[in-house]
Amino acid sequence: MSFIFPNMSKTKADVRRHVLEKSRSPKEKEKTTTTTQTFLSKHLKKIYPLGLQRSNSSTSLSSASSSLSSQNSLDSSHTGTTTQKDQKSTLPLPSPTRNMPLPLEKKEILPVPNTVPQPSMDSFHKSLKRCCWITKNSDKVYVQFHDEQWGVPVYDDNILFELLAMSGMLMDYNWTEILKKKEALREAFAGFDPNSVAKMGEEEISEIGSNKTLMLAESRVRCVVENAKCILKIVGEYSSFSDYLWEYMNYKPIINIYRHPRKVPIRTPKAETISRDLVRRGFRLAGPVIVHSFMQAAGMTNDHLVDCFRFRECVSLAERPWRHV
């Protein structure tokens, strides 16, 4: 006879469950517990979404903080440790047209033309400040004379003779008219060589006087020939016409400081002194006004106005060491 206890089947089931749980490994137990917790947290989030609600209770923030920490622990236990690479993948990708540097446009580099426009010499010369008697209507030959010769010290006998002869022609013409004839004058007077001019006879003087290009009266031509003879006498005494003239200047040009053209004299005491001696020696057309014009052209005196660009240049030439030959 066997006794059947009403709770025998239940006891056997409990014993079997206990044996099975005991035989399980710790890892299986942990996995089961984690799965259960994850399932519960997943469904609880659907029913009770976590968020900070306005509350008058002072413990609302702390409770919310504890809830968030518990949620993070549950999520991390379910998904495992999240790597940095996984976190970056969850961020929204930037739009390809936002915060991206635009590609630089390739500009076509054109070759530089060989013919680069250069400022003309006329425009260059017009931009310079000159003595006020050089105006926009002044002839180019006169402007060139002012820019290149007037006020430059001269030590060559032939050039000094040429300038003295042309200064004497100011009795009949102005500088522009004389300068336009300069090449013809040089040809007629043998390059203003005193030795050649001094040998000219009446026939040659008459021929030059009848030259329609020069338009010089025979009396003016004769004055040039007589002056050449006087220069030869001075050369015999002073070895050169240049030595004779520059001795009056103490071998240094006179540098004047004139700001206005009305201050520039037409004759000076120095010009008067030289003129008297020239006339005494037999020179013609050698008055003090003509001699002063000659001194200006030969650079024996610097009468450029101080605001003229040539003033400083001629001063520099005047301050050079003496190179008279």
Is 260 assigned to a binding site?
no
Is 18 assigned to a binding site?
no
| 231 in Cβ contact with 208 (< 8 Å) | no
Q: Which tokens sit at 277?
A: 């001696």
Q: Which tokens sit at 160?
A: 């000094």
User: Of 42, 43, 60, whose CA–CA distance to 52 is shortest?
Assistant: 60
Buried b (16+ CB within 10 A) or exposed e, 306-317: eebebbeebbee
Is 43 assigned to a binding site?
no
Q: Which tokens sit at 27?
A: 């890892």
Specify the amino acid at residue 189. F
Distances (CA, A) of 141 to 138, 173, 177, 199, 262: 8, 15, 9, 31, 24
The rounded distance, in Å, linking the Cα atoms of 256 and 35 is 113
SS3 255: strand
Tell me the helices (H) and strands (E) count for the chain, helix number first.
Answer: 16, 2
Is 78 assigned to a binding site?
no
Q: Torsion angle, CA of 259/260/266/269, rounded to 10 degrees?
A: -40
| 272 in Cβ contact with 294 (< 8 Å) | no
Contacts by 196-205, CB closer than 8 A, 24 or more apart: 197/161, 197/224, 197/225, 197/228, 198/225, 198/228, 198/229, 198/231, 198/232, 200/225
In this structure, the chain runs to a length of 325
| 310 in Cβ contact with 255 (< 8 Å) | no
Known binding positions = 131, 146, 304, 308
Known binding positions for Zn(2+) = 131, 146, 304, 308
